[in-house]
């Protein structure tokens, strides 16, 4: 083997080229006077730390796993029927899918890319949004109601329009309920009554409050995670779907599908402080780690609106490379935004430095949502 020494201690000390031409890293760590060597193929070591995007494919009952470094699908995981919402644990160890038709939650071990547990919910729950507490102890699930069989002509078969929902009576409390699940045991420990057809939810960075969009009521419920009771109800615009919060917890952004606006909520007063006109039929929302930009998908315009959180004004509009962008997520470094293209069965990848699409990735049918956990 040929050795290539590195100049500094505490970093990989040797690069060795094996007989087969395979590059191997040799790490030397000083631990109380002892040395610990960690060796392995370079490609294996890099793959372990690469972020992955997990895509809930509603129409194919799967989750696609994308390596964000190469934008290739590296695994496909079967779930219960119609995974629509998806979230990751803060440590990146697990991904959770809300299976709307299956009335269940699939727990995916990101280390093995396998479903490690399936959590059953009451029949008719129709789970949609899902969020994990910052301490990783609780999973919050919005019981939206079954969405298969929507009548919208241009809608996927698992999508139900506002007109559909308003024309039907919902008899079960599960469609006005947030379920609280203990992540260690996978059991439902509490339920919280919110508005009608809760769709998406987000937990404040300090874990103190849960914000829930109620589609039919046109409101956002604020739930205290200490008492598990609603402490405020905030009127927004028609059909609030996606929701996100800034990293400092000061501001919540809500996508109002039927009004083509974003509501901006000041969490200190639980009031709307701005309403921002964006594209047609906004759906998913994500805020970058710096808290400076919010990205919102517009399903009918096939675009992403970029909002400056300092001025609450649109500073960019990105045409995506396909039809019906729904779910959206962002890499930890804020460099790339991933959005689902529901009608095309693809993911669109946007470079946030240029606000241009740099890649598309084929996934399963009817991708609804996407999440990018921290690298492990």
pLDDT at position 10 over 80: no
Mean pLDDT for 271-297 is 97
Q: Of the spans 29-33, 195-199, 283-287, which averages the highest pLDDT?
A: 283-287
SS3 category, 50: coil
- State what percent of residues in the chain have pLDDT above 90: 76
Q: What is the CA radius of gyration of the chain?
A: 21
CATH of domain 65-371: 2.130.10.10
Mean pLDDT for 304-327 is 96
What is the reported pLDDT for 169?
A: 35
The residues near 201 (Cβ < 8 Å, ≥ 6 apart) are 129, 130, 131, 140, 142, 178, 210, 211, 212, 213, 243
Mean pLDDT for 52-79 is 97
SS3 category, 175: helix
The residues near 82 (Cβ < 8 Å, ≥ 6 apart) are 58, 59, 61, 99, 100, 101, 102, 147, 148, 158
What is the reported pLDDT for 148?
A: 53
The structural domains of the chain, with segments of one domain joined by +, span 2-40, 65-371
Confidence class for position 321, pLDDT limits 50, 70, 90: confident
CA distance 64 to 71: 11
Lowest mean pLDDT among 29-38, 62-71, 262-271: 29-38
Token representation of residue 265: 């909520």
As a three-state string, the secondary structure of 124-163 is CCCEEEEEECCCCCEEEEEECCCCCCCCCCCCCCCCCCHH
User: CA 97 → CA 12, 124, 197, 233, distances in Å?
Assistant: 38, 17, 18, 27
The 8 Å CB, 24+ separation contacts for 221-227 are: 221/194, 221/195, 222/270, 223/178, 223/192, 223/194, 225/133, 225/138
The model's pTM is 0.84
Q: Quick one: DSSP state of residue 373?
A: P
The 8 Å CB, 24+ separation contacts for 299-303 are: 299/257, 299/324, 299/325, 299/326, 299/342, 300/324, 303/279
């Amino acid at each position: 083997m040929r050795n290539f020494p590195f100049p500094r201690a505490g970093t990989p000390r040797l690069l060795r080229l094996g007989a087969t031409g395979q590059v191997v890293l040799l790490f030397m760590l000083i631990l109380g006077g002892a040395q610990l060597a960690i060796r392995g193929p370079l490609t294996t070591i890099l793959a372990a730390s690469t972020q992955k995007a997990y895509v809930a494919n509603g129409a194919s009952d799967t989750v696609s796993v994308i390596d964000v470094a190469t934008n290739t699908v590296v695994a496909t995981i079967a779930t219960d029927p119609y995974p629509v919402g998806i979230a990751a644990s803060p440590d990146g160890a697990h991904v959770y899918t809300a299976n709307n038709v299956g009335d269940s939650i699939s727990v995916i071990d990101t280390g093995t890319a396998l479903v490690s547990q399936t959590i059953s919910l009451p029949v008719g729950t129709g789970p949609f949004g899902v969020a994990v507490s910052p301490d990783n102890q609780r999973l919050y699930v919005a019981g939206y109601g079954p969405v298969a069989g929507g009548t919208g002509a241009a809608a996927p078969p698992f999508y139900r329009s506002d007109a559909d929902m308003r024309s039907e009576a919902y008899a079960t409390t599960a469609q006005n309920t947030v379920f609280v699940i203990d992540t260690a045991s996978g059991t439902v420990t509490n339920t919280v009554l919110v508005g009608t057809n809760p769709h998406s939810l987000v937990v404040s960075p300090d874990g103190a409050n849960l914000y829930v969009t109620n589609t039919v009521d046109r409101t956002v419920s604020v739930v205290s995670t200490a008492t598990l009771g609603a402490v405020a109800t905030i009127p927004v615009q028609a059909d609030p779907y996606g929701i996100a919060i800034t990293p400092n917890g000061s501001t919540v952004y809500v996508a109002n599908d039927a009004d083509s606006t974003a509501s901006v909520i000041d969490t200190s007063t639980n009031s709307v402080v701005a309403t921002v006109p964006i594209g047609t039929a906004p759906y998913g929302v994500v805020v970058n780690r710096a808290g400076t930009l919010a990205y919102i998908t517009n399903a009918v315009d096939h675009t992403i609106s970029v909002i400056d959180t300092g001025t609450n004004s649109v500073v960019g509009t990105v045409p995506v490379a396909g039809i019906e962008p729904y779910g959206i997520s962002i890499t930890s470094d804020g460099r790339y935004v991933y959005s689902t293209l529901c009608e095309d069965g693809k993911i669109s990848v946007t470079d946030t430095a240029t606000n241009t699409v740099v890649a598309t990735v084929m996934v399963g049918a009817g991708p609804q949502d996407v999440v990018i956990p921290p690298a492990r």
